[in-house]
Each structure stands twice: as C-alpha cells, then as structure tokens.
Amino acid sequence: MGQRDISLTGGEMEGGEQTPTRFTRPAVDIFETNEGLTMKADLPGVNKEDLTIDIDRDLLTLKAETKPQPKGEAIRKEFELRGYFRQFQLPDEIDAGKVSADLKNGVLTLDLPKAEAAKPRRIEIASA
C-alpha cells in the first residue's frame, strides 16, 4: 500500500495522493529561508531525461523512471531500483513561475522562491 504525502511545511495533505505501489517514495530534506524553500530529494539511479517535475496550481509532483535492471541471475540483491513518485502541496507564498531544479549525483535540488509580496521587508518610518 502507498504512503500519504505531506505539505512542504508539514502536516498531511488534504486528500493527499497515495504513492503508486510500483514507485518508491524518495527521501527529502526541506529548508526555509526568507527568500524561499530549498528541497533536496534523493533519486539514486535517475538521469535528467527520466525525471519530470510538474506544478499544477499548488501541487508539486516529482516522478522518475529508472532503467531496467541488468540481465542475468542475481547472486545477491539487496535493493531494487524502481521509479520514484512524490507529491507536495506548495504554500501559497511560493512563486511557481520561478522554481528551478538541478540534478547532480542522484540528488535533486529544487529552489522554490517566495513571491516578493510574501518576503519579509522593513518599513521605513517617514520623518515629520
């Protein structure tokens, strides 16, 4: 059975999608700064060409296919490279049009900037 996913800021997604059983749910780390969120997802065995990242309204979807296993009889098999699937509900303050992604050594890094209106700012006090 699949596992329910969570929103980027914690808590279970309302009506959260289940991870399809033929996919593995990748581990992620999410960090927040004043500028936005950074997500790192472990996707071993995935190439750029096999990865899709979609944003539909406030739903971020990561989906990756892995290449078939080598032919032959396994002498020892402790893990199986399968596809990856995970969804996240984006907070309202994320500017979906400015999201960027980088994949290096099996680690996907997503930069999810906050919209300018959502960033903290200092208000100057006018002189009398």
CA distance 87 to 9: 13
Q: Each residue of 21-74: pLDDT tens digit?
A: 678 899 999 999 989 999 999 998 899 999 999 999 889 999 998 877 678 888
Q: How far apart are CA 127 and CA 66, in angstroms?
A: 62
Q: How far apart are CA 128 and CA 69, in angstroms?
A: 73
Q: Which helix (H) or strand (E) holds 86?
A: strand 83-89
pLDDT in tens, 106-121: 999 999 999 887 777 7
Whole-model pTM: value is: 0.74
DSSP letter, residue 128: -
Domains along the chain with CATH numbers = 23-70+77-116 (2.60.40.790)
Burial letters 84-112, b for 16+ CB under 10 A, else e:
bbbbbbbbebbbeeebeeebeeeebebeb
Single out the residue of 125, 93, 101 nearest to residue 41, CA to CA.
101
